[in-house]
Amino acid sequence: MGRSGRATINDVAERAGVSKTAVSKVLNGTGSISPATRARVLQAARDLRWQPSAHAVALRRARSQTVALVLNGHDGPPSVSVTTAELITGIETTLSSRGYGLLLHLVDESRDGEADIYRQLVDAGRVDGAILTDSVVGDHRPALLRELGLPAVLVGTPEAGDPVPHVRTDPRPAIDQAVEHLASLGHRRLGFIGGPRDRVQAMLRREAFEASVRAHGLELSAVVSTAYSGEASARATREVLRGPTPPTALLYGNDTMAIAGIKAARDLGLRTPQDLSVIGAEGLPVGAWIDPPLTTVQRQVVLRGQVAAQLMLRELGIEVPELDWSGDEELLVRGSTAPPPPGS
Amino acid sequence: MGRSGRATINDVAERAGVSKTAVSKVLNGTGSISPATRARVLQAARDLRWQPSAHAVALRRARSQTVALVLNGHDGPPSVSVTTAELITGIETTLSSRGYGLLLHLVDESRDGEADIYRQLVDAGRVDGAILTDSVVGDHRPALLRELGLPAVLVGTPEAGDPVPHVRTDPRPAIDQAVEHLASLGHRRLGFIGGPRDRVQAMLRREAFEASVRAHGLELSAVVSTAYSGEASARATREVLRGPTPPTALLYGNDTMAIAGIKAARDLGLRTPQDLSVIGAEGLPVGAWIDPPLTTVQRQVVLRGQVAAQLMLRELGIEVPELDWSGDEELLVRGSTAPPPPGS
DNA sequence: TACACCTGGTGTACCGGTACACTAGTGTAG
DNA sequence: CTACACTAGTGTACCGGTACACCAGGTGTA
C-alpha cells in the first residue's frame, strides 16, 4: 500500500500475484484473463478498497469522465433558480449512473469572461463536454464550443441552422392547451406577459401564444416581453390592465410573475379569477397553496435534464437507451382561471 | 503542438527555447528564473494558449483542485431546492475565484449508497474535500469523512462534540425577533410547525422557539415537527387550529409550509392576518406577492455558501480573507402578521 | 588563489494508470 | 510432427506535468 494511504494498481497486482497489466485488463474487461485470475484480482481490489485514480486514467486516456454545466447569468451575476436546480437533478443522476461527474460553473457573461471559461476548461482538459442552458438570441456559445472541439448539448432551442444537439421543448402544445382552456371558458381578449426579448424560449412561447390566439379567432389584447421577475411583471400587468381594451385573461412567463400579476390586478380592484384569469408557467409547489390556486403550465424539468445528459453521453460515444421525449409541458388547471366577467 | 490539438508544456518549452522545468517554474513561481526568460515563457504560453493539464497536475501533486458538494435526499430521491441552489451559487463563485472546481453529487441515502459514494470519491482521488449540508441527528458523515481522511465542512450545526468545521446559523436571534414581534402585537398563544425531528436545524429552531416563548412569558400552544412540504404543513395546521386552545400566531419551517398553513386556516374560516398571524422562513421571492404578503425569516443563503467555501479553502491550506459571519437570518415583516382578534 | 555560495537554469525519475508489443503454453488442422 | 491460431498473461513506453538532484558560471570573501 502506498504511503499516502490510498491503494494503487501496483498494490492490487502484488496482492493478487499478477502484473498490473492484468489488473487493468480485469478492471476494463479488455484482453483475456482466466476466471480464476479475474476472481483473485477482484478480491484483492475489494480487500484494498482500490479504485483507479480518476486523474491517472484521465491523463492517459485524455478523457476526464466529467461534464461541465455552465450556467450563465446573462445579465448581472448568475444565480441558480428552481428550474435550474431541477435540471441539475436530472442531469446529475443520469451522468453519475454512467460514472460521469458533473462540474458546475457559474459565469457572469456581462463581465465578458465566458468565452475564456470554456477555453480554460478545454485547455486544462477538465471536462469532456459541456451542457448549455438558457439560449439567448444570437447565442455564440455553440459555435465557440464547436470551434474549441468540445462536445456540447443545449437545453433549449438552438437558432435556425445551428446544428448543436439539443433538448428542445416545443411550447406550442401547452400554450395551445392554455388558450383552448381560456377560449372554452368564454374569454375573447387574451394577453401575454413573458420573459425578455433576447431569450429564445421566451420568444418561442410568445410566438406560440400569438399564433394560437389567432388560430382560435380570439383577440390579442396585449403582448409584453419583460424580465423574469415579480417586479417587472407587476409593472407590466398594471400597464396592460389600464389599457383601453384590457384582456380578461393573462398568460405569464413563470409562476412568480403570475402571482405578482394577480397582486397587481388586485391592487387595481380586479379579483382573480372572477375579473381576470391568470395562467402561470413553472409548476412551483407553492402555486397549489395560494389563493386562488394557480393554474399553470407545468414543466418536467428533471426529465429534461435526464434527456440532456443522455444526449451528452451519446455525444461522448457512450451507448445509452433512448428516452422518449415528446415535450414536457402540460397545462395544470387549478383555480386562477374562470369564465370572464359578464359583458366583457 | 501535440497531435490532439491541445498544447503541452513541451510545446511551450520548445517555443520559448527552454526546458520544461523552466516552464513549470515560471508557472508556479518556484525556483529562480530571470525576468527575460520568464517573459519569453509567458509569451509562448499565451501564443499557444497553454494551460497545464488539470489531470497531470492532479496526478503528480495528489491534489485535484476540486471540491465535492454532496446533496443528500435523506428520505427518498434527492432533489435540489431553492435554498440549495442559492447555496451552490455562493459556494461555486468562491471556489472558482481560487481555481477550484465544484463537483456535484446527489445521493439517495435511503438506498444506502452514501458511504460508498464518499469512499469512491476519495479512492478515485477526484476531490480534495467535501461540503456537507442538511445535517441530521446522529449524522455519521463527519466521522466517516474524518476516517477517510477527506477534509469536510458542514453547512449547518454539528452535533455536540463533533469537531467538524462548519457554518453555523444560530436560529435564536431571528426566532427571538419573530416572537418579540408577535408579543408586541399582543399575541399570547403561539404555535410552531417546523421541519422533521431528525433534522438538526429544525430541532434547533424548535428549541429556540420554545425557549423564546417561555422567556417572553407567553403560552406555547402547539409545537409540531413534520415534513418540509405544503401537504404536511396544511395537515398539521388543521390539527393545531382545531385544538382546544388554538394559537393566534404560527411560525413555520419554510415559506411553502407557511403559505399552505394560511390556506389551511382559510379553509377553516380563519383569515390571515386578522384571525391568525403567520410567519414563514426562507424568503422566497414569491412571498412578497401573495395575499397577504408573507412575513418571514429571511436567510442569506448565498453568503452562507461563500463562508462554507472559504472554510473549505482554509481546510485545504489556501489563505483566504476572513468573511465575517454573524449569522444570516433576519425577520422580514410584511403583511401576514397583525394583532390577534379581540378577546382571544 | 581557493573556496563557498548564489543565480539561473538542465536532466530525469516519478505520479498511477492504459495501450501495445510480445511470449509461453495449449489445442487443432494438415 | 509441424504450422498456426488462440489463450492468458508479462514488460514497457507513455500521458503531461512536478520535484529534486545537479551543474555552469559569476560574485564575495578569507
CA dist B20 and B34 (Å) reads 15
For the record, the C-alpha cell of B22 comes out as: 523552466
Contact A123 B84 (CB under 8 A): no
Residues forming a β-bridge with B67: B102, B129
Is the shortest CB-to-strand distance from A64 to strand C under 7 Å? no
Do residue B86 and residue A64 have CB atoms under 8 angstroms apart? Answer: no
* Chain B environment of A284 (Cβ under 8 Å): 286
Residues 121-180 of A with CB under 7 A from strand C: none
pLDDT value, residue A65: 95
Residue B96 is which amino acid? S
Q: Measured between alpha carbons, how far is B310 from B170 in angstroms, rounded to an integer?
A: 19
Residue B244, exposed/middle/buried by CB under 10 A (0-12, 13-18, 19+)?
Answer: exposed
Q: Hey, which bits of A124-209 come out as E strands?
A: 129-133, 152-155, 166-167, 189-194
- Helices A141-148 and A114-123 cross at an angle (nearest 10°) of 20
Is B88–A78 a contact, with Cβ atoms under 8 angstroms apart?
no
Chain A hits for B62, Cβ within 8 Å: 4
State which protein residues have CB closer than 7 Å to strand D.
Answer: A 18-22, 25, 31-34, 36-38, 56, 59-60, 62; B 2, 4, 6-10, 20-21, 23-24, 27-28, 30, 50-53, 56-57, 59-61
Per-residue model confidence (pLDDT) at position A3: 39
Question: Which residue has the least CA–C1' distance to nucleotide D17?
Answer: B56
Element (DSSP H or E) covering residue B93: helix B82-97
Nucleotide nearest to B6 (CA to C1'): D16
Rounded Cα–Cα distance for residues A215 and A66 (Å): 46
Cβ A85–B79 below 8 Å, yes or no?
yes
The span from the CA of A31 to the CA of A36, in Å, is 15
In chain A the first and final C-alpha atoms are separated, in Å, by 82
How many CA atoms are closer than 13 Å to the CA of B125, on its beta-carbon side? 26
Hey, are the CB atoms on A259 and B55 less than 8 Å from each other?
Answer: no
Q: Which of A221, A161, A171 is nearest to A199 (CA)?
A: A171
Place of cell 482466466: A34
Distance CA(B25)–CA(A168), nearest Å, equals: 48
Helices B82-97/A82-97 angle, 10° precision: 70
Nearest C-alpha of chain B: how many angstroms from A43?
16
The predicted structure's pLDDT at residue A111: 56
- Closest C-alpha to B50, from B102, B18, B2: B2
Which chain B residues are within 8 Å of A53, Cβ to Cβ?
A: 59, 124-125
Q: Where in chain A is the domain with CATH 3.40.50.2300?
A: 66-169+303-315, 172-299
Residue B160, SS3? coil
Per-residue model confidence as pLDDT tens digits over B245-271: 999 999 999 999 999 999 999 999 999
Q: What CATH number should be reported for the domain whose range is B9-52?
A: 1.10.260.40
> Which one of A86, A92, A286 has the shortest CB-CB distance to B284?
A286
- Judged by CB atoms closer than 8 Å, whether chains meet at A126 and B56 is answered as no
> How many Å apart are B37 CA and C9 C1'?
10
Q: What is the pLDDT of residue B125?
A: 94
Contacts of residue B79 in chain A, CB cutoff 8 Å?
A: 85-86, 89, 302
Burial A66-87 (b: 16+ CB within 10 A, else e): bbbbbbbbbeeebbbbbbbbbb
The answer to whether the Cβ–Cβ distance between A106 and B122 falls below 8 Å is no
* C-alpha grid cell, residue A290: 395560494
Instruction: Write the Ramachandran bin of B147: left for phi over 0, alpha for psi from -120 to 50, otherwise beta.
Output: alpha
Question: What's the CA–C1' distance between B187 and D20, in Å?
Answer: 73
Tell me, what's the pLDDT at A168?
85
CA distance A11 to A20: 9
| Nearest by CB: A59 against B59, B92, B256 | B59
Residue A337, CB, less than 7 Å from strand C? Answer: no
Nucleotide nearest to A60 (CA to C1'): D15
- Residues A319/A125/A70/A148 CA torsion (nearest 10 deg): -90
Ranges under pLDDT 50 in chain A: 1-3
Residue B44's region, left for phi above 0, alpha for psi from -120 to 50, else beta, is alpha
- Per-residue flag: A26 CB under 7 A of strand C: no
Say if the Cβ atoms of A102 and B101 lie within 8 Å: no
pLDDT at residue number B3? 38
Is the CATH code 3.40.50.2300 the one for domain A172-299?
Answer: yes
CA A307 to chain centre: 10
Q: What gap in Å lies between CA B113 and CA B133, rounded to an integer?
A: 17
Strand C bases within 7 angstroms of protein beta carbons: 7-12, 14-21
DSSP states of B286-298: GGGTSSSPPEEEE
Rg (CA), chain A: 26
**How high is the pLDDT of residue A75?**
61
Cross-chain CB nearest to A49 (options B52, B66, B123):
B123
From the CA of A168, how many Å to the nearest CA of chain B?
22
CA A339 to chain centre: 34
What would the CATH number be for the domain defined by A66-169+303-315? 3.40.50.2300
HSE at residue A138, side-chain half, CA atoms within 13 A, is: 3
pLDDT for res A77? 59
Residues facing residue B297 across a β-bridge: B281, B331
Q: What is the pTM of this model?
A: 0.91
Judging contacts by C-beta atoms under 8 Å, the chain A residues touching residue B105 are: 92, 96, 101-102
Task: pLDDT tens for chain B, 344 residues: list them.
Answer: 433 568 999 999 999 999 999 999 999 999 999 999 999 999 999 999 999 999 999 999 999 999 999 887 666 556 667 788 889 999 999 999 999 999 998 887 655 566 788 888 999 999 999 999 888 888 888 999 999 999 999 998 887 777 899 998 889 999 999 999 999 999 999 999 999 999 999 999 999 999 999 999 999 999 999 999 999 999 999 999 999 999 999 999 999 999 999 999 999 999 999 999 999 999 999 999 999 999 999 998 989 999 999 999 999 999 888 877 777 799 999 999 999 999 87
Enclosing H/E stretch for A221? strand A219-225
